[in-house]
Structure 1
Amino acid sequence: MKESNSKEKHFENITMNEILVAFSQKYHGHFFKILEALREKERLTNKDIKLYLEDVEEMNETILSDKYPSPLKEIPNPPFVLYYEGNLELMDKKGIQISLPVDEENYHRCFFALEENNGQMDYCIGVEDESDLSFVVENFIERNPHYKFVDYSKSKEMGNSLV
């Protein structure tokens, strides 16, 4: 019986979810670039994957996850990885997609779900590019001062990133 070397064993421990997150980090959530990398069977080294995963700061779910919102799977080009803040379960009930223009050729898709509960506005805000999340959340909350939003900053501080 041939034993595999340590590099092979390490690679065996890397999940497809982790590979998707690594590609998402590398390509800033750009659906078609990630799709092309997967089609072309682009290889990332274990070291590259580890470095990309270490950079992840936000909670996230990949399209392969059981927790990934099912309505997002129904849209054209769903995010391979959804980086989010808030109550992810709301996306299954009330999620909507908004495209925010960055310039004339580029846009960022954002996903929102809101639900008022006992005088507080519960929410989930998701994006494809992790680096957009803080900006989108802060702007959304600042532009809607008439709502008392649930404070998810404590769960964020606890490091609840899923990958």
Structure 2
Amino acid sequence: MPEPSIRPARPDDEADLARLDRETWSLLHAVTPPPEPHDPFFHERCGPDDHLVAEYEGRLVGYVRLGFPTPLASNAHVRQIRGLAVAEEARGKGAGRALVRAAVAEARRRGARRITLRVLGHNTAARALYASEGFAVEGVQPEEFCLDGTYVDDVLMGRSLL
């Protein structure tokens, strides 16, 4: 598979992104219930401008959601990766790494000084990817979530963009 192309999301990506979200939902990374078939992907707090998508040969195979960690003006210099998904057939082929790099570049382009994320402690593949892209563990909230009867840590990671 060649390198993925990364581009900003468009409103007409809604159906593909909603499908991808349903297909990739897993307790490995999700703390919310699975999306329903009728759930919109874009909404008033999170629209196309908040997403970058990965494509292979014109097929949408992944996305990264970039937002603010809080609504506070004193925190507006920070961006947060608020979601990342890659289709099963594109995993291990560079789409996730390309999306993380694109999110870092976009956060920097938007004037951010830092970028952060939260990842579940048992998601070792995602944690390794983020670490390899310069993110460091900045905190751990032990047993923050109970997922299907198992307590899971919430790991806070971040990096400077300066």
Q: TM-score range by the shorter chain?
A: 0.3 to 0.5
More strand by proportion, 1 or 2?
2
More helix by proportion, 1 or 2?
1
Which one has a bigger Cα radius of gyration?
1
Relative to the length of structure 2, the TM-score reads 0.34
Q: Which has the higher contact order (CA 8 A, sep 6+)?
A: 1
